[in-house]
Amino acid sequence: MKQLLNAIQSDVTPEQVSGAVNAYLDSWRNGDSEARAALFSDNARVEDPVGVPAIEGKPALLAFWQRAAAFPTKFTPTLESIVVCGNEAIVHFSMHIEVVGAAQGTLQIIENFKLDKTGKIAGLRAFWDEKSVS
């Protein structure tokens, strides 16, 4: 197994991939759409959830997150697990969502992050469905 894992080729280190994932989660924790957008490449592509039309490009992503931030909502992600292979990671986290003065709940999310050779997130695919919500 070690030999097989050593054969994985990557433009970035596992620490860079993990760092990008943790910075992404921190940006949600801190309610910082600008910091989140800064983690993405200019032509990044995000599917959230997979199956809806993708959001493409950093300006479109920032606008999407700023619209979400316009509501009095607090997002608190908790990392459950991360597996890094090459330039990619599969991440499982729970996202506690609290709409101030209204409802709250938790969403179980699995995301696939893909980084480019500069360490920016080039692609993100989020997997969640109705059974993921509690």
Residue 118 has pLDDT above 70, yes or no: yes
For 28-46, what is the mean pLDDT? 96
| pLDDT band, very low/low/confident/very high, at 71 (cuts 50, 70, 90) | confident
What is the percent of the chain with per-residue pLDDT over 90, rounded to a whole number? 79
What is the per-residue pLDDT for 7?
65
Domains and CATH numbers, the chain: 2-132 (3.10.450.50)
In sequence order, which ranges of the chain are alpha helices (DSSP H)?
Answer: 2-6, 14-29, 33-38, 58-69
Instruction: Give the rounded distance of the alpha carbon of 73 from its chain centre.
Output: 18
**CA–CA distance, 45 with 107 (Å, rounded to integer):** 22
User: pLDDT digit string (tens) for 20-33?
Assistant: 999 999 999 999 99
**CA–CA distance, 32 with 69 (Å, rounded to integer):** 9
**CA–CA distance, 65 with 28 (Å, rounded to integer):** 10
